[in-house]
Amino acid sequence: MFSEILQRIVEETGGGIGSVLMGYDGIAVDQFFSPGEEIDLQMVVVEYSNVLKEIRKTAETLSLGEMEEVSIRTDRFIIVIRMLNNEYFVALVIDRDGNFGKARYLMTREGYNLIEALS
């Protein structure tokens, strides 16, 4: 079930490369990659999960509200991370020239389906 939702996110996003559903503990629940892609998204997200914990803690400490989304832009990719709840988040990697706005929309829309599937 998770892989179908992740696949929808990747394939409907212009420039989608891969998506992973992961816990804050760094353990992937499921993932989907476009055929032929050679990025180790799971390793990328594991490394960023520690950073996410710090960002979330800082937002709470400063009473800024709950963290909802983080995006990272490099010279090759855009990584969009959407928090689902206190235990899980979904990450999507798109090409640098991919459709960032559609990626954010799809992650929000499909985030509800992922939360329901996690229940």
Supply the pLDDT for residue 106.
96
* Per-residue pLDDT of the chain in tens (119 residues, 90 and over written 9): 899 999 999 999 999 999 999 988 888 899 998 887 667 777 777 777 788 888 888 888 898 888 889 999 999 999 999 999 989 999 999 999 999 999 999 999 999 999 999 88
Total length of the chain: 119
- The domain of 90 spans 2-118
Could you give the number of structural domains in the chain?
1
CA–CA dist 85, 7 (Å, integer): 21
Report the pLDDT value the prediction gives residue 53, as an integer from 0 to 100. Answer: 82
Only one residue has tokens 């055929």, namely: 35
pTM of the prediction?
Answer: 0.89
Residues 6+ apart with CB under 8 A from 65: 59
Per-residue model confidence (pLDDT) at position 38: 67
The DSSP result for 9-24, as a single string, is HHHHSTTEEEEEEEET
Asked if residues 16 and 103 have their Cβ atoms less than 8 Å apart, the reply is yes
